């Protein structure tokens, strides 16, 4: 009976010290000027994943896939998915099964972003100077058609960006909830 009380007491102290540790890890990050919550989440997940936590490995893969708290890196994402899948994580196994589709989707999104960047980039100065009055009518008509196409593309891009942000927000919320309420081990 006395032994049960000691175990309960140590769990309470462990929770207390874990809270203090998580609180203290945020202080140097803020002092270094890195106040981004996503970066802090990434660092916590990385620390847990490197210690072998299967769910952290999966979520670290998600963070790399989404570019959440780090640069988007699909190769690094699948490295972490593979580690989690080796330990039996079903979500990671599902990601590995759909790897080709995920990689194609990420590449398409990156190409779309590159095209969008080119559309918004200013025209080179020498191109502007070479236009003469004979071509201006044709250029104006082409510009009108392009403007309509760009408007439709912009709307599609806005929808994609909103969907991407919803996905990132969902991953962020799951990770934050998991950190607040860890499952398994001493906390059950």
Lowest mean pLDDT among 66-75, 88-97, 100-109, 112-121: 112-121
Average pLDDT over residues 56-85: 93
For residue 107, pLDDT beyond 80: yes
Output 143 or 104, whichever has higher pLDDT: 104
Give the integer Cα–Cα distance in Å for 84 and 65. 15
The C-alpha angle 58, 59, 62, rounded to 5 degrees, equals 95
Structure tokens at 83: 């580690």
Mean of pLDDT values over 43-64: 92
pLDDT band at 157 (very low <50, low <70, confident <90, very high): confident
Average pLDDT, integer, range 80-107? 93
> Would you state the structure tokens that stand for residue 94, as one six-digit string?
């599902």
Round to whole Å and give the CA distance between 47 and 22. Answer: 12
How many C-beta neighbours within 10 Å does residue 169 have?
12
Can you spell out the DSSP letters for 37-97? HHHHHHHHHHHHHHTT-HHHHHHHHHHHHHTSSS---HHHHHHHHHHHHHTT-HHHHHHHH
Q: What is the pLDDT of residue 32?
A: 45
For residue 30, what pLDDT is reported?
46
Q: Please, which pLDDT band fits residue 37 given cuts at 50, 70 and 90?
A: confident
- Please, which pLDDT band fits residue 181 given cuts at 50, 70 and 90? confident
pLDDT averaged over the chain?
Answer: 75
Q: Who contacts 131 (Cβ-Cβ below 8 Å, separation ≥6)? A: 139
pLDDT score of 16 more than 60: no
């Amino acid at each position: 009976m006395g032994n049960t009380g000691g175990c309960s007491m140590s769990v309470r102290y462990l929770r207390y010290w874990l809270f203090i540790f998580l609180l203290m890890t945020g202080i140097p990050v803020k002092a270094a000027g890195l106040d981004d919550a996503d970066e802090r989440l990434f660092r916590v997940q990385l620390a847990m994943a490197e210690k072998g936590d299967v769910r952290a490995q999966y979520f670290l893969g998600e963070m790399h896939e989404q570019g959440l708290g780090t640069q988007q890196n699909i190769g690094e994402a699948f490295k972490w998915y593979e580690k989690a899948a080796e330990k039996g994580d079903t979500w990671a196994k599902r990601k590995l099964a759909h790897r080709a589709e995920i990689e194609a989707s990420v590449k398409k999104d990156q190409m779309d972003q590159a095209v969008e960047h080119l559309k918004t980039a200013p025209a080179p100065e020498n191109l502007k100077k070479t236009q003469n009055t004979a071509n201006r009518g044709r250029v104006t008509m082409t510009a009108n058609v392009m403007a309509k196409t760009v408007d439709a593309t912009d709307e599609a891009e806005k929808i994609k960006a909103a969907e991407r942000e919803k996905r990132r927000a969902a991953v962020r919320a799951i990770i934050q909830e998991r950190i607040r309420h860890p499952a398994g081990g001493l906390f059950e």
